[in-house]
């Protein structure tokens, strides 16, 4: 089903995604892109969030996944100009359940930011304890997962969308060494 501009839901989501990437480039600053929650079962999580909170359809954009990530789906939240990503991993989470108060720690996978320039962003973040854990390079984007050594528990993904006009930015995805 097409939206009012004749785009499919996936085309619309990817257009909004690229628009945020362009905003990071033109404004020369990091722009919040997404929040990813790690879930044990994608189908059940999607059903629960849609039924409970009226979230829109979760889509599967494809492309490569990060290490140990099995599958992911995304739902664009127009009111917030970002998307919610749900990610199911190859094996169940083994840590993070015992908080000492009988409740599990949340399953935050990452908070994603578009960056205008990856090298500048890394130069800014590394002195603050951020380190690269893994990365994906496509024909149009470089994506890095970062963790902070001094304040753990806030994983971040940086995305440098090289050409926000490139509709095929997810093609030819390969993990790269940093």
Question: Is 50 exceeded by the pLDDT of residue 23?
Answer: yes
Mean pLDDT of 12-36: 92
CATH code for the domain defined by 11-91+103-175 = 3.10.180.10
Mean pLDDT of 21-25: 94
Give the highest mean pLDDT range of 20-24, 53-57, 101-105, 106-110.
Answer: 20-24
Could you tell me which of 43, 143, 39, 153 has the C-alpha nearest to residue 87? 39
**Between residues 53 and 23, the one the model is more confident about:** 23
Strand arrangement of the beta sheet that strand 130-137 belongs to = 69-77, 82-89, 31-39, 108-114, 156-161, 141-148, 130-137, 174-175
Question: Is 90 exceeded by the pLDDT of residue 19?
Answer: yes
Using an 8 Å Cβ cutoff, are 165 and 18 in contact? yes
Question: Is 50 exceeded by the pLDDT of residue 34?
Answer: yes
What per-residue confidence (pLDDT) applies to 142? 92
* Domain spans in the chain, listed from the N-terminal domain onward: 11-91+103-175
Could you tell me which of 87, 75, 76 has the C-alpha nearest to residue 41? 87
Mean pLDDT of 77-89: 84
Could you tell me which of 116, 105, 111 has the C-alpha nearest to residue 130? 111
Band of the pLDDT at 81, cuts 50, 70, 90? confident
Band of the pLDDT at 178, cuts 50, 70, 90? very low
Q: Where are the alpha helices (DSSP H) in the chain?
A: 9-27, 42-53, 118-125
What per-residue confidence (pLDDT) applies to 91? 72
Mean pLDDT of 21-50: 88
What per-residue confidence (pLDDT) applies to 109? 73
What per-residue confidence (pLDDT) applies to 107? 55
């Amino acid at each position: 089903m097409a939206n009012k501009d004749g785009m499919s839901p996936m085309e619309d989501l990817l257009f909004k995604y690229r628009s945020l990437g362009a905003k990071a480039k033109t404004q020369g600053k990091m722009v919040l892109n997404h929040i990813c929650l790690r879930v044990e079962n994608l189908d059940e999580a999607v059903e629960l969030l849609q039924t409970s909170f009226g979230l829109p359809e979760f889509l599967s954009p494809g492309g490569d996944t990060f290490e140990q990530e099995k599958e992911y789906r995304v739902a664009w939240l127009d009111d917030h100009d970002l998307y919610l990503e749900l990610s199911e991993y190859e094996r169940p989470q083994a840590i993070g359940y015992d908080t000492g108060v009988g409740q599990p720690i949340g399953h935050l996978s990452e908070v994603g930011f578009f960056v205008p320039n990856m090298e500048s962003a890394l130069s800014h973040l590394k002195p603050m304890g951020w380190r690269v854990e893994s990365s994906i390079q496509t024909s149009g984007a470089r994506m890095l997962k970062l963790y902070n050594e001094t304040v753990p528990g806030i994983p971040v993904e940086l995305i440098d969308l090289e050409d926000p006009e490139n509709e095929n930015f997810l093609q030819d995805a390969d993990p790269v060494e940093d």
